[in-house]
Structure 1
Amino acid sequence: MNDSDDDNDIQLSAHALAALREFQLEQQKKQYAGLNNYATGSIDEDWQLSQFWYNDETALRLAQEAIEASGHNGKIACISTPSVYQKLKQLWNGEFSAVLLEYDRRFSVYGNEFVFYDYNNPMNLHEDLQPHSCDIVIVDPPYLSEECLSKITLTVKYLTKGKILLCTGAIMEDLAAKLLSVKMCKFLPKHNQNLANEFCCYTNYESRLDLDSIC
């Protein structure tokens, strides 16, 4: 084999590698097509991470509430509420911003607005998250436990300028009131999967979520 044959082999290998990369890119585009559109539920729930996505109606209602409560050019922090974050991005009109704090790194596809978050280290936050920098924090602790809510409370109080929208079980009502000074709303969030525990919304401000009849 002469030098010319060696060059041809190298060129073919480079061409094959480029084709492979193009194929892989197309596969990724197909895989995350829903994510690029911020489609609610475009990432499957991982029950081992205690993930239960809101249905589309609930995600929309909570996103609308967060937008209204944050005000013009408001900043919204979503802690362990990726389906609300996705709905916020669908509704984005340039008049608010949102950031997602989430343990599941699959949501890193959302770029700089994704911040890895582990409630076990509630103050281990990205340096871009300044104290009292968010007009409202919407949070759904992954576990119905005093430990989980107590630790996440540290993050919530650090980030919020004042407004808090909490979604958690009805059994957490007393502890939520004690830690975050929130009260239960009439609006009941729904999930794609039926949960054994009754789920509720809580706020520390006057909210339209309290105008709905309990159903």
Structure 2
Amino acid sequence: MEDDDLQLSASTLSALQEFMQEKDAREKRFEELKAQAEEEKRERDKLSTTVVTMEDFEADWQVSQFWYDDETSQALAEELVAGAGEDTNVVLVSAPR
């Protein structure tokens, strides 16, 4: 018997084809996600070219600042998290203790 005479059974060939289709679909999905991540990085990089300094912000000297005890800080943090969505960015500029 020569190598040319060897054949897979129909069920084995079908299983192999299904496996290869799933593999191709996973590779395609990976490439799509990679392209999306690269595009999002390019967009973030565009935004990050702007230099922001303290001179860009004007202080309102009529506004008082309050430093909170641990209990109040925890309550405020919980409210912040409860109101935050998936796309919410939270930045703490100053939080002395």
Same fold (TM over 0.5): no
The TM-score, its normalising length taken from structure 2, stands at 0.41
Q: Which has the higher contact order (CA 8 A, sep 6+)?
A: 2
The TM-score, its normalising length taken from structure 1, stands at 0.20
Q: Which of 1 and 2 has greater Rg?
A: 2
Bigger proportion of residues as helix: 2
